[in-house]
Structure 1
Amino acid sequence: MRDLSGDHRLLSLNTATVRRQGDLAAIVEACARHGIRAISPWRDQVEAVGLAPAVAAVREAGLALSGYCRGGMFPGDPSQAPAVRDDNRRAVDEAAALGAPCLVLVVGGLPQYARPGSAPSRDLGAARAQVEDGIHDLLGYARAAGMPLAIEPLHPMYAADRACVNTLAQALDLCDRLDPGRTGALGVACDVYHVWWDPDLLGQIARAGAERMLAYHVCDWLVPTRDLLLDRGMMGDGIIDLKPVRAAVEATGFAGFCEVEIFSEADWWRRPMDEVLETCIQRHRTVV
C-alpha cells in the first residue's frame, strides 16, 4: 500500500467538497495554492464559468483531473431518449476537453426521478434495463473520444431516485456484459460512502482489477447521519475503516488519486475553503 504520510501528491479534490465556498476558478486557485495536484469538477460548476475558461484555468494551474462528474441519468420516457443521448455525449466531450481520465456515471433510478417529466413507475428492473441500454449506446461514442466510462454504484438508499446500480457486483456485471474484453473503456468508480457496508466489498474490488478500477473516492459515514445526501463526514470523523479499503483498491494495481468527495450542508460547506482544504490534506496523510 502506498505511503501517504509524507505528502499529499496523491490527493485529488472533488470540487463538490467546497462548492458553496467559491466557483470553479476560485477552487482551482485554492488547490494550486495548497499544492493539491488534481481535481474532479462537476458539470454545473464548469458550465457556470464556461468550458473554455475552465480548461484554461486547469491548465494554467498545472492541475490533473481524477475524473469528471457526471454523466448518466439514463432512465426516462422514450420521448426523452434523444435528450439523454445528447446530454451524455456532451458530458463525454467536456471530459475530453478538460483532460479527465474518466467520465463518472451516476446512472439514475426510476424514470420520474432520473428524467423529470417521465411517467411514474415502480419497475426497478425496467429502469436497470434502460441503464444498460443507455451505457451500451454511449460506449461507442465514448470509445471514439478516448474517454473511459466509470459506473459509480450508489448506496441502496438512492435506488429509487439517483442510481439503481447499488453494488460493485452490479456495476461489474454491467461491465462484463458490455465490455467483455476488459478493454479499459468501461469500469467503476469506487466511493467508500456508497460501498463500505457491502459484505463482498473486498472480493468485488479484487474482481475489478486494474482494468476496471477507474476512480477511488473517500469521505466518511457519520453516525448519526442527519441527511442522507448532504451529511457526509470528513475522513476520520465517522465509522468507515478506510485503510483496508484503500489497500484492496491499490492491490488491484490502481495507481490513481484518492479523491475526496464530501457533501456537507451543515458542516464543511459552512467553513472557509482554506480550512477545508487544510483538513483534507491532514486527513489524507493520517487516516486515508
Structure 2
Amino acid sequence: MSDLSRLSLNQATVKYADLPGAVAACLRAEIPGIGLWREPVAEYGLRKTAALLRETDLVPTSMCRGGFFTSPDSDQRIKDLADNRAAIDECAELGVPELVLVSGGLPAGSQDIDGARALVLDSLAELAPYAGERGVRLAIEPLHPMFCSDRCVVATLDQALDLAMHFPAEQVGVVVDTYHIWWDPNVYRAIERAAGRISAFQVCDWITPLPEGVLLGRGMMGDGCIELRRMRRAVDAAGYTGPIEVEIFNETIWNTDPAEIAELTAARYLEHVH
C-alpha cells in the first residue's frame, strides 16, 4: 500500500464502534493515527485507553471536544471552564497534543453574536496558559455558517485566527476542516496566514443534496465537490506536516462495518488527498 503515514481515522467516522473496535479497524487498514472523542474514551476508561494506545502504537492525533464558551450565566461558565480543564487533563494523560474546540452558538434568545464571540475570547484567556503548562494546544475549529446560531459563532478560518493570535502559537491553534471552510473565497489566503497555527487538518467531502439534518451531510472523500488535494497542498505549503484526520458524520457510513470503512478511508485518502 502507498504512503499512509499521515493518515488518522477520527472516531466520529466509525461512531458505532467502541474504542477497541475503532483501534482494530485502524490497525487492519494500516492507519497509524486515531482522532479521539471524549465520550467513548470515558466509556472505555482513561487508563485503559492509554494502555491500549501504548500496546498498539496507534498515535492519538487529537481529542474532540472542548469549548461551548458562550453561556452568559456565570455559574454555567464556571462549570464549562472546569469541564474544559478536565478535557485538557485527559489529553495530557493520553499524550494527545491537540484539544479541538467548538466555540458554542448564540445563547437562547440572544441575537448578540459579537458578545458571544467576546465570551469565547475570554474563555481562551482563562484556558490557554493551563493548556500550555500541560503540553496541550487548544485548537479552535471554525464551523460552517449554518451552525452559527446553535453550535459555533466562529464561522471562518480568519475568525479563528483572529482569536488564536491573542495567544502564543504553542498554546492556541486552529483546525482546518475541509467540510466547514471549503466554500470561503478567502480560504487559501487564510491557510497561508495560518502558518505555524494549524493544529489539525481534517478532511471529508461535501455532498449534495444535503440529507435532512445537515450535521450528517459529510461524505467520503471523492463523493462530493471539495478540492481536497488542492487544500492539502495549501496546508503543506503553510508548513503543516502533521496528521490528516478523516472525520465523517454520515448515518450510512456509521451503519457500515468499521473495518470496511477504515479500508475505504485509506483507499480514498490515497486517491483524493495524498
TM-score bracket, normalised by the shorter chain, equals over 0.9
How far residue 43 of structure 1 moved from its aligned partner, in angstroms, is 0.6
Quote the Cα distance in structure 1 between the aligned partners of 2:269 and 2:25: 17
Which 5+ residue runs of structure 2 have no aligned equivalent? none
How far residue 241 of structure 1 moved from its aligned partner, in angstroms, is 0.8
Are the equivalent residues in 2 in contact too, given 1:10–1:257 (CA < 8 A)? yes
Matched, 1:260 2:246: yes
| TM-score, normalised relative to structure 1 | 0.92
Stretch deviating more after TM superposition (90-99 or 182-191)? 182-191
Are the equivalent residues in 1 in contact too, given 2:204–2:221 (CA < 8 A)? yes
Pick the aligned partner of 1:53 from 44, 48, 52.
48
Pick the aligned partner of 1:15 from 3, 11, 15.
11
Quote the Cα distance in structure 1 between the aligned partners of 2:210 and 2:260: 22
**Partner of 1:229: helix, strand, or coil?**
helix
Quote the Cα distance in structure 2 between the aligned partners of 1:207 and 1:87: 31
Are the equivalent residues in 1 in contact too, given 2:129–2:171 (CA < 8 A)? no
Are the equivalent residues in 2 in contact too, given 1:220–1:238 (CA < 8 A)? yes
Higher strand share: 2
Are the equivalent residues in 2 in contact too, given 1:102–1:150 (CA < 8 A)? yes
Q: What letter matches 1:110 in structure 2?
A: L
Matched, 1:269 2:254: yes
Matched, 1:214 2:199: yes
Q: Which residue of 2 aligns with 1:175?
A: 164
Q: Which residue of 2 aligns with 1:115?
A: none
Quote the Cα distance in structure 2 between the aligned partners of 1:82 and 1:205: 33
How far residue 78 of structure 1 moved from its aligned partner, in angstroms, is 1.4
Are the equivalent residues in 2 in contact too, given 1:29–1:61 (CA < 8 A)? no
Q: Which residue of 2 aligns with 1:95?
A: 91
Q: Which residue of 1 aligns with 2:106?
A: 110
Taking the TM superposition and a 5 Å limit, the aligned residue runs for 1:1-288 are 6-20=2-16, 22-76=17-71, 77-112=73-108, 120-176=109-165, 178-179=166-167, 182-209=168-195, 211-226=196-211, 227-265=213-251, 267-288=252-273
**Partner of 1:284: helix, strand, or coil?**
helix
How far residue 123 of structure 1 moved from its aligned partner, in angstroms, is 1.4
Q: CA RMSD in A?
A: 1.1
Q: What letter matches 2:188 in structure 1?
A: L
Are the equivalent residues in 1 in contact too, given 2:68–2:104 (CA < 8 A)? yes
Quote the Cα distance in structure 2 between the aligned partners of 1:199 and 1:239: 15
Are the equivalent residues in 1 in contact too, given 2:97–2:135 (CA < 8 A)? no
Q: What letter matches 2:52 in structure 1?
A: A
Which 5+ residue runs of structure 1 have no aligned equivalent? 113-119
| TM-score, normalised relative to structure 2 | 0.96
**Partner of 1:104: helix, strand, or coil?**
strand
